[in-house]
Homo-oligomer: A and B are copies of this chain.
Amino acid sequence: MTKRKKLEILVDTPLLKRIRDLSKQAGVYGYTLYPTFGGEGEAGRWIDDQVTGGAGSKILYVTISEAEIADRFLETLTPLLEEYGLMITVSNVDVLLAKND
Q: Which residues from chain A sit less than 8 Å from chain B, CB to CB? A: 1, 4, 6, 10, 20, 29-42, 58-60, 64, 74, 77-78, 81-82, 86-97, 99-100
Closest 8 CB pairs of A and B: A32-B39, A88-B96, A33-B37, A89-B93, A90-B94, A30-B41, A91-B93, A33-B38
With known contacts A30-B41, A36-B34, A77–B89 Cβ distance under 8 A? no
Q: A89, B94: Cβ atoms under 8 Å? A: yes
The A contact surface, by secondary structure, is: strand
Q: A6, B39: Cβ atoms under 8 Å? A: no
Measured CA separation A77–B90 after assembly (Å): 26
How often does this chain occur in the complex, in copies? 3
- A74 surroundings in chain B (CB, below 8 A): 96
Measured CA separation A68–B64 after assembly (Å): 24
A23 CB to closest chain B CB (Å) equals 9
Which of B10, B29, B93 is close to A40, meaning CB atoms less than 8 Å apart? B29
- A20 surroundings in chain B (CB, below 8 A): 40
